[in-house]
Structure 1
Amino acid sequence: MKIAFTAPMKPLDHPVPSGDRTMGRLIVQALEQAGHAVRIATTFRSWRRQGSDEIQGAVRAEAIREADRIAEDWLRTGYGPDLFLTYHLYHKAPDWIGPALADRFDLPYAIVEASRAPKRQKGDWAYGFTAADAALERADAVAALHNADAQCLRALVPEDRLEVLLPFLDAAPLQEASHVPKPLAAQPLSLLTVGMMREGDKTRSYEVLAEALRQLQDRPWQLTIIGDGPNRDYILGLFPPEKIAWLGALPPEQLPTQYALHDLFVWPAIREAFGLVLLEAQAAGVGVVAGDTFGVPDIVRNGETGLLSPEGDAAAFAANLGRVIGDPALADRLGHAARAHIAENHTLAAGAQRLDNFAQRAVRNHFAHARKKQG
């Protein structure tokens, strides 16, 4: 089918790399692999760092003008999509364009990666919360990327329109790298972390990791850090220089080799939706030690492909990491299970199948609702 696509949180051509941008691109790639023709309807970004009725009211006005422009273009060129799909909707990034076009052209409307925070019904984000809720109510199908988000959505979205669509990745380059022979894990354990060095949750994750490793200062480990950003000097200063190697920010094509060279991936995952890096590490045959934030337990099998600890708990994180440092064979077992887990559940092909089923469901729901209104 022909699918019109938008990503109001972060357009796919945004210059700043992130897991959100990568996941949006993967969704388009998977839909095309499933045989759909995807067109980026707009690169309009509704996300704002600060909220208020005035700020978001102005964004809404811009969005409606953009929807009018798109409608005129579709009418002029004869383009007629079968589905309008929005990626990543919440109170800071409402979607006014998709619902407006879906109503005007009687289209099925679907949302992938929706989240809902009821505490935002009042205060600076009330306007955006109401707008996001309106889009959710209009949607013919809604997909959360993990069960924690789905639980919050159930208060508004009926079960026949809601599902959990587990995240996925293009695992092929990582799987290929994982087949290059490497020695069994041994002391000192070779640890890897990958994360942007920006303020907020990323820096907090580095702080928790550094605190956990301080508790294991005398144990045999070496840490490779991949990432860069405005907080680089502060973050690198958290770790003992003799026990780390900082590689800076690497292009995506160099990451598979780095994953596969290491024994264990470590990331506290503070406020992560699920953590694309955790998928990447596992695809490369590397087990993980991570925080159990939001969707992380949906992609990491605790005790099988990784060891999870409560979010932000440095002592618990250190305890899990200490288990693996003391038993390097455990790192190998986690890595083997991780590779098989990703191959079975989180590949691009698996994502293409799930998205195809989701798109078909949205279309069925739309026309079933139309028939019900007519009859």
Structure 2
Amino acid sequence: MRIAFHAPMKPPDDPVISGDRETARLILKALTAEGHAVEIASRLRTWLPRPDPQAFEEVRAAAAAETSRLMERWRNGPAPDLWLTYHLYHKAPDLIGPVIARALGIPYLVIEGCRAAKQAAGPWAAGFAAADRALAAADVVAALHAEDAEGLAGFLPSGRLHRLAPFIDAARFAAAAARPRTAAVPVLVVVAMMRAGDKERSYRLLAAALGKLAGRAWRLLVAGDGPCREEILGLFPAARVDWRGVVEPDAIASVYGEGDVLAWPAVNEAFGVALLEAQAAGLPVVAGASGGVPDIVLDGRTGLLVPEGDTDAFAGALARYLDDPDLRRRHGAAAVAHVASGHDLAAGRRALAALIDAAASVHRGRKAETVP
């Protein structure tokens, strides 16, 4: 099948590392492994960092021009059999896919569609309305975690809302999972960009929690960089921090291999690719139970989840792992098995195949309903 792919929030070849970019790349990898011919149809970013009516109109005009370009091209050559949009919401609506899919008469599939009804009125109203139009046009919308599914359930008709478990290529982390963890001082790992907003708030909460554990032995290994680097690194005692800066995806497994626990407060986190990667590498996770985190970390089995934003609870969970190496090893081994059983690339391939079949089936049914 020829699949046209678009990620309106961030294209998969964007130079800035992020979990969103990694998920897009994994989807492309899984689809290609299934034998599909996948093309990044557009690299237009519709994402806006803040409400801006003029900027939104400029994005809308750019999307119209991009749509015209693609339609002209496909009038004279093989058109795609399906349009797939990854990650649309009020800050990054899909302004291209619905128009193309309708004009070509092909199925329209959305993966990681998000809908926060509170944004229907207010400064994000235009983006919310545009995202709603795309969601309504989609034959199938896949939510990546329970919170997103709940937000979509009252909007999408039955049969068009599906779930897709986040997945990674676990084989990349097998060597890290097999490494013995015998260091006398436990290493806590953080893999996150250093930018303002939720990331900075998570770092601040982590620093506050570690401040309560100053009398225990630990070191902090940080992979990440960004505009708030100096402020964030200044939150932690320099003598106990090993900062690696940006670590490319191909090298990140070795970072997890040096650690004993993945520690991330996950303030307002969608789900966190790093949490899956760390588990595949044999690290138990301490995280805030926000967004989709409880969908991928099994509390008390592959990690310890605490109420989002609770510094004392986060410190207490870290203390449990710092004081009990056997618990770390048991939960780490369970984490490897957990990812292998339901969040590996093979599972992703099967799930994507089912979503494509469902989108095609719904599309046929919707076309039949329009025939007089």
- TM-score interval w.r.t. the shorter chain? over 0.9
| Separation of aligned partners in 1, 2:207 and 2:134 | 41
State the partner residue of 2:264.
Answer: 267
Q: State the secondary structure of the residue aligned to 1:41.
A: strand
Aligned residue in 2 for 1:30: 30
241-250 or 129-138, larger mean C-alpha shift: 241-250
Q: 1:372 aligns with which of 361, 369, 372?
A: 369
The residue aligned with 2:7 is 7
What's 1:17 paired with? 17
* Equivalence for 1:98: 97
SS at match of 1:160: coil
After alignment, is 65-74 or 244-253 more displaced? 244-253
1:208 to 205, 208, 211: 205
Give the whole-Å Cα distance in 1 for the aligned partners of 2:255 and 2:97: 40
Within a 5 Å distance, the mapping from 1:127-138 to structure 2 comes to 127-138=126-137
Contact 2:181–2:260 (CA<8 Å) still a contact in 1? no
Percent sequence identity is 50
CA distance in 2, matches of 1:225, 1:205: 13
Checking the alignment, whether the CA contact within 8 Å between 1:64 and 1:100 is kept in structure 2 is no
Unaligned 5+ segments in structure 2 are none
Verify: 1:123 aligned to 2:112, yes or no: no
Q: Which runs of 5+ in 1 are unaligned?
A: none
Secondary structure of 1:272 counterpart: coil
User: What is the rounded CA distance, in whole Å, between the counterparts of 1:105 and 1:191 in structure 2?
Assistant: 51
Instruction: State the match for 2:307 in structure 1.
Output: 310
Look up the match of 1:150. Answer: 149
Conservation of the 8 A alpha-carbon contact between 1:57 and 1:127: no
| More displaced 10-residue stretch of structure 1: 360-369 or 256-265 | 256-265
| SS of equivalent to 2:111 | strand
Distance 1:56 1:229 in 2: 26
Note if contact 1:31-1:355 (Cα within 8 Å) is conserved in structure 2.
yes
Partner of 1:301: 298
AA at the equivalent of 1:90: Y
Q: AA paired with 2:113?
A: A
Distance 1:142 1:135 in 2: 10
Could you give the per-residue CA deviations for residues 34-71 of structure 1, whole angstroms, max 9, x where no partner exists? 12111111111111123244432332222112101100
What whole-Å deviation, never above 9, does each CA across 1:241-272 have from its counterpart, x for those lacking one?
Answer: 22222222222222212212211111111111
1:286 matched to 2:270? The reply is no
What is the rounded CA distance, in whole Å, between the counterparts of 2:11 and 2:148 in structure 1? 21
User: Partner of 1:163 in structure 2?
Assistant: 162
Deviation of residue 208 (structure 1)? 0.5
User: In structure 1, how many angstroms separate the alpha carbons of the residues matched to 2:138 and 2:231?
Assistant: 44
> Is the contact made by 1:53 and 1:126 (CA closer than 8 Å) also made in structure 2?
no
CA distance in structure 2 between the partners assigned to 1:62 and 1:118 by the alignment = 26
CA shift for structure 1 position 161 = 0.4
| 1:340 paired to 2:337 | yes
8 Å contact from structure 1 (residues 212, 315) kept in 2 = yes
Structure 2: distance between partners of 1:18 and 1:255: 12
Shift of 1:116: 0.8
Q: Report the alpha carbon displacement of residue 187 of structure 1 after superposing the two structures with TM.
A: 4.8
Distance 1:244 1:68, change over 3 A: same
1:328 aligns with 2:320: no
Tell me how large the CA RMSD over aligned residues is.
Answer: 1.3
Q: Which deviates further from its counterpart, 296-305 or 53-62?
A: 53-62
**Which residue in the other structure is 1:141 paired with?**
140
Matched pairs, number: 372
Secondary structure at the aligned position of 1:172 is classed as helix
Three-state SS of the structure 1 residue aligned to 2:162 is strand
Distance 2:140 2:302 in 1: 31
Q: Which sits farther off after the overlay, 82-91 or 60-69?
A: 60-69
Tell whether 2:224 aligns with 1:227: yes
Q: 1: CA distance between counterparts of 2:234 and 2:169? A: 34
SS at match of 2:159: helix
For residues 49 and 318 of structure 1, the distance between their equivalents in structure 2, rounded to whole angstroms, comes to 32
For 2:39 and 2:128, the matched residues in 1 are separated by: 27
2:204 maps to a residue whose letter is: E
- Which whole-Å CA distance do the structure 1 matches of 2:293 and 2:184 have between them? 27
Distance in structure 1 (CA, Å) of the matches to 2:7 and 2:181: 43
Q: How far apart are 1:348 and its partner, in Å?
A: 1.0
When normalised by structure 1's length, the TM-score is: 0.96
Question: Which letter does structure 1 place at the counterpart of 2:59?
Answer: V
Which deviates further from its counterpart, 364-373 or 145-154?
Answer: 364-373
| Range moving further from structure 2, 249-258 or 311-320 | 249-258
* 2:79 counterpart letter in structure 1: G
* Pairwise CA distance, 1:197: 1.2
- Structure 2 counterpart of 1:198, one-letter code: R
* d(CA) in 1 for partners of 2:299, 2:268: 18
Q: Could you report, residue by residue, the CA deviation over 1:57-94 in whole angstroms, capped at 9, with x for unpaired residues?
A: 33222211210110000112x22211111011001111
Q: Which amino acid aligns with 2:285?
A: V
